[in-house]
Chains A and B, each alone.
Chain A
Amino acid sequence: MSSNIVGDALGAARSARRTGRRRTKLSRRGKKEAFYFWLFISPWLIGFVGFLLGPMIASVYISLTEWDSFTEPQFVGLANYTQALTEDPIFWKVLGNTFFYALISVPLSLVIGVWLANLLNKRVRGRKIFRTLIYLPTLVPLVATAMVFKMILAPSGPLNDLLGWFGIQGPQWLLDPNWIKPALIVLSMWGAGAATVLLLSAMNGIPRELYEAAEIDGASSWRQFWAVTFPQITPIIFFNLIMGLIGAFQIFSQVYILAPGGNVGGPDNASQMMVTLLFDQAFSFYHFGYASAIAWLLFVIIMLFTLIAFRTARKWVFYESEVR
């Protein structure tokens, strides 16, 4: 969408330049328009330059220094990066934790989202109530959700009771280094409703006649889903994939609230994530340089995954209006 607008705008500018005379005629209006453009965009620009671009550029420099935020930063070159990659005893573990979380929670919540959306798309009684119920968890503040999950995930809590009915001895979830990450993933599933709503609206937008045609051809409902529904909603799945990946790599609040005893690292650093590590390093340990280096390493990782997603998108994302 957005790239189209930019493309149009650039095209307009180009054609305008070619027909120079017409533009001089419009110059008064153009002037006014340009003035309002700058006026109305300036709040955003000031915010972007002052609060985002400035700090980002500054953090590149800070990542090359050792800085405690009080005294003058000391330039140390790439030492922070080599420290993270070769010396820090927990950096790789934290990176592994973050990957584990992102690479399981994102696909899983997409699968659940598509599944829920498909169910809600069926013509059943009380469909509207179900739709509301599915989206409702997304509206509950995260802190409240996390408190509820602390109870649900208690060693003798409801979830383990449920597992007990099937003869499964439930783990201690938040207290167990092996199970705290799966517990966080379970919590992330709670928010699958947000993706569901988007996917559902995409499904509603699929022309009926495609299904009718498929039915006449004798396609089963399974076949209809894979041959009609799925290709049509791939753009939305793609959108959710990208946003989900970025969000998952930046997981912070959930860990901060759920980790037992307020100890973010969790048992044996099993729940320490990139952003919580970064936060501790900067605001608790006063290693701003190191924290900035971690931030940039995380940026590179997210960039890499987003690029991979975009590269492979050509193979599986289907745009109806697109001509190849």
Chain B
Amino acid sequence: MAEKIRRHARAGIALIAVIGMAALTTACLSGGEEDDGTLKMVVWGGDLEKETYQERIDLLEAEHPDIKVDLQLIPSEQYEQKVQTMIAGGDGPDIMQVAEGVNVYSSKSQILPLDEYVSEAGLDLEERFGPAVGELYSYEDQVYAIPDRSGAIITYYNKDIFDAAGVEYPTAEWTWEDAQSAMEKTTSPEDGQWGYTGAGWWAQWWSFVYQNGGQIVGDDGKPAVNSPEAVEAVQWANDLVHENHYAPTAAEYADMGPDMGGDPLFASGAVALNTTGFWGIGTLQEADFNWGIAPLWGGDQQAATGFGSGLSISRDSANPDKAFEAIDFLTDVEGQEVIIDKAMDVPANIQVQQSEAFLKPEWAPEGLNMGAFAESSDFIYQAPFIPQWNEMQSTINDGLETFWSEGGDAQTELDEIQSQLETVVE
């Protein structure tokens, strides 16, 4: 009997194995099915992104009948994990959207260097995207992604508040002093009116560090967050909140509601100045006050964080040539205009940024200075897209959180972070 049970056990195990094999084979088959030349493209975002990318792909497929693209949209917060799983499983997409984390993949040869494809296609990156953005996604002198979206951080201002205070509207020529004096004149605590929304987000204070001649990671690849220039910029940004109280503190923001931050507060009409990306326009469509945009002010030099993303080709792509052909089209004028027509983002293509379609979009309020984006393109500094980007951000955020919410001495905080970063950034 024991023998029989054992035999049954074996049969059972065999059954399990068969079921398991069946599951595996179907998985393999369904994986293999896609090999009819259809390109798999992954991007992040929501409904608006899905609609925009799909429309661009429709244009591509109409123009290049031999190319078929299967678009997969992944919610932003899951994007990195999903793509990581795909690549680790040997089923990486043909075309994938990358941003600050690009060199996680390039440093480990998970995406293809594109220089050869670029020169074969006769593509001039600097001409198409401008000198600051063209080779933004490079690692060890090789290009790994073609810029697709690229809007700099810009200044949003509440015209009503500025007019009432009799202050000139912001321009790219503003210095820190000009910005500070405008904040001073527009802050009015008794009316619940603030001069600024604050600069505790990396994209904001990094801009000031680079304006001041500082860097987050130096040209030698070593962290440089406690340089005198960086310390001065960070202290200035923090003092705007805690010394001068032009902007609400973290505690005051927390009191306004669970999802309150600079952008919604500006959209409520209670602040004179906000510094954020293109998406700020979307939150202001229904604003009941007059507002405008301008390039970010400057310090010793102009510098603004770029919010962009590029398109890359994974090592698993069976058709890298076709994939590049698709990317070439998507980043050319025709493929890029949809991005602005849909009011989704700033197209990376400089020619589009300077076109009528971009400067006077249907949806924009009368007289909105859309040229601010093209003007800012030249100010975008080369941010350190190191392979350890996430770890660096996490170290900085954890270390500075109390500093931003309660104020303090920038030198002490940045010295501490510098020593931690030295262990993170090799």
Contact = CB atoms under 8 A, between A and B. Distances in A.
A172 B251 contact: yes
Given A45-B16, A70-B88, A285-B390, A263 B401 contact: yes
A257 to B, nearest CB: 10
Interface residues of A, number: 46
B255 interface: yes
Contact of B1 (A27, A39, A50): A27
Interface string B403-426: 001100000000000001001000
Nearest to A71: B108
A280 B405 contact: no
A17 B257 CA distance: 70
B87 A267 contact: no
Contact of A38 (B8, B398, B420): B8
Interface in A58-98: 68-71, 89
Contact of A286 (B9, B104, B258): B104
B15 A266 contact: no
Chain B interface size band reads 35 or more
A20 B364 CA distance: 89
A283 B81 contact: yes
Interface string B9-29: 101100110011000000000
Nearest to A268: B402
Contact of A24 (B1, B11, B399): B1
A284 B110 contact: no
Interface in B1-53: 1-2, 4-5, 8-9, 11-12, 15-16, 19-20
Contacts of B244: none
Contact of A284 (B16, B255, B394): B394
Q: Which of B81, B258, B390, B423 has the most CB of A within 10 A?
A: B258
A89 B254 contact: no
Contacts of A42: 12, 15-16, 19
Nearest to B77: A262
A27 B4 contact: yes
Interface of A: 17, 20, 23-24, 27, 30-31, 34-35, 38-39, 42, 45-46, 49-50, 68-71, 89, 147, 150-151, 154-157, 172, 174-175, 177, 260-261, 263, 265-269, 272, 280, 283-286
Among all A-B residue pairs, the 4 with the closest Cβ atoms: A38-B12, A265-B398, A150-B258, A155-B251
10 contacts: A17-B2, A23-B1, A35-B8, A38-B11, A68-B108, A70-B87, A260-B401, A265-B401, A266-B398, A267-B405
Interface of B: 1-2, 4-5, 8-9, 11-12, 15-16, 19-20, 80-81, 84, 87-88, 104-105, 108-110, 250-252, 254-255, 257-258, 388, 390-391, 394, 397-399, 401-402, 405-406, 420, 423
